[in-house]
Each structure stands twice: as C-alpha cells, then as structure tokens.
Amino acid sequence: MTYQSRAQWQLRLILLPSAALLLALVIWPALYAVWLSFTNAALVGPGAANPRFVGLRNYARLVGDGDFWNSLMVTGLFVLGSAIIGQFVLGLVSAVLLNRPLRFRAVFNAIILLPNAVPEVVAGFLWISMLAGGERGVLSRIVMGLGLQPQDWLNTFPLTMIIVVNTWRGIATAMILLTAGLSSVPKEVHEAAVMDGAKPGQIFRMITLPLILPTIFLYMLISTVSTISIFGFVYALTRGGPGGATEILGIYLYNQSFTAYQLGYGAAVAVVSLVFSLIVGVIYVRALKVEV
C-alpha cells in the first residue's frame, strides 16, 4: 500500500464517525419521514397499531388543504419580513456602523448579541409580557405615553409582531456574518476610491456591496432555510394563532402530527417543507450564480 492510499484510508477512517452520525441522525430520519408520508401512521387509532401504505393520499389531501396553503403563505411572509428584510437590513447597518472606529464598540456588540443568549422559549415569554394587551404590556404603556390607545399586539398585528421578534433575535447572526464579509474588503480599494473622489454612499454601493455579495448570499441562504424551520419561539408566542395568522410551516407540521395525531400527514408536510427549503437553497446557490 502506497503512502497516499494509506493516507486516504486514514482520512476515510477519521470521517467515519461523523458520517455514521449523519446517517443515523439526519439521513435515516429524513428517509423514514418520506416513508411515513406515504402511510396512514398516527399516534392513536388503527394507524398507530398497524400503519399501512396509502400511496399519495396524504399529498393529495395537502393540495386541497386550505390551511396548508395559508401556512405556506404565512411562512413566505415571515421569511421575507424577518430574515430577508428585517434581519438583513438591520444586521448590515449594525455591521457597517460597528466596523468603524467607535467608542464603546464592545458594549454595542454585546447588546446586539444579547438576544441570542436567551433560550428561544424564554424569549417568547419575555415578548408575551412586552406585547400583552391592555394597560399592562410594556409596548402598550409606551404607546399610551405617546397618547395612543393600548393594543393587544399579538392579536391585532400577530404576523408583524412575530416578524419583529424574529428580527430582534436574528440581527446578531446577520451582523457577525456581514462583519466578516466587510472585514474581507481590502482597505486599499476604499482608499483608492476616496482618492478618486468617490463619496461614502458611492463607495458603499459600487465597491463594498458587490465585494460582500457572496457573504450576503451565504447569509441569505442560512437565514432563509433556518427561518423556514423555526418553531419554538413562535409556538411560545402565539401557538400559530389567532386563527392561523401565525401558523408557519413548523407549527402547522407540529399541529398535524402531535395535536391532530396524524403522523403520516405531518410527515407529508415535513417533506414538502424540505422540498421548499431545497428549492430556495438551489435558487440562491445556482440561479444567482454565486459561489458560496
């Protein structure tokens, strides 16, 4: 055996534990979910005792299920509002501001990172308190101070509120990634642009943004896919209500599987959700022709 082939075998051996873990904890459950989606498996009734193959029945039911389409639309708006617009814009602004020489920069960094230090369910309950209806909620007190009527925020503007909360939670991730992108832009390019008389706005638009585009798309990919699969804090905040207004795919999936006890149907939702994420990923990676 040559040195090279021995080295290759050693590398394969080193990779084996992680490959085994991926197989056991990711690939096998995913394949099992696909299989479940073709059965009438349930948590109660005959479907729990003896699940049987039902072909495409769950998928056919999904097509005609208005609640599923509502959930898909809510998820789209949630991703657009919080991941693509909210987190990205505020994350970029934070990254640009904190990339400059600034007093107390470490303090600002810490403030932006704080939301990530709180477990998501705890964050959900904190925001329930902030957004509570009547005169007790923090936000209602603030608007009352401005002479406006208090609101039951989670009932009156449910989708907007979960977008705001998810934006709050996600700014730090966006900022960290985009800061890394900004750091990779050579200072010489900026200096040359300044010497050529470019204004700060022009430098940002014509030089900085194009140079950090790969980082932006990497961030978009990560944040879009992770936002599609969000569950915990939205469940803690609204449980998908009122009236399905915040029933994102993760909650819809949970409700089908563990509230309505239809595991097969829930698995079909999970498979569609996976396909949805893959399509979004492919759009970012391939259609926009950005190497990430």
State the residues that interact with other proteins by CB under 8 A: 40, 42-46, 48-49, 61, 67, 152, 154-155, 237-239, 241-244, 255, 258-262, 265
- Residue (of 284, 255, 262) closest to 71 by Cα position: 255
Cβ proximity to other proteins, 62 vs 176, nearer residue: 62
Under a CB-based contact definition with an 8 Å cutoff, are residues 154 and 131 in contact?
A: yes
133 phi/psi in degrees, rounded to 5:
-75, 175
Q: Which residue number, 48 or 192, has a Cβ lying nearer to other proteins? A: 48
> Are 235 and 171 in contact, with CB atoms under 8 Å apart?
no
Identify which of residues 190 and 239 has a Cβ nearer to other proteins in the complex: 239
Instruction: Tell which residue, 166, 170, 275, has the closest CA to residue 222.
Output: 170
Choose between 9 and 258: whose C-beta lies nearer to other proteins: 258
Contact yes or no for 79/227 (Cβ under 8 A): yes
CB of 178 to other proteins, least distance (A): 34
Smallest distance from the beta carbon of 238 to other proteins, in angstroms? 6
Rounded to the nearest whole angstrom, what is the least distance from the CB of residue 58 to other proteins in the complex?
9
In whole angstroms, how close is the CB of 10 to other proteins at the nearest point?
39
Gap between the Cα atoms of 250 and 276, Å rounded? 12
Closest CB 133 distance from other proteins, rounded Å: 9
Question: Residue 256 or 273: which CB sits closer to other proteins?
Answer: 256
Which residues are CB-contacts of 40 (< 8 A; sequence separation ≥ 6)? 46, 47, 51, 52, 54, 57, 264
Whose Cβ is closer to other proteins: residue 173's or residue 262's?
262
Please identify, using beta-carbon distances, which residue of 214 and 242 lies nearer to other proteins: 242
| Smallest gap from residue 153 Cβ to other proteins (A) | 11
Nearer to other proteins, 183 or 259 (CB): 259
Q: How far is the CB of 183 from other proteins (least distance, A)?
A: 43
Rounded to a whole number of angstroms, the minimum distance from the CB of residue 113 to other proteins is 29
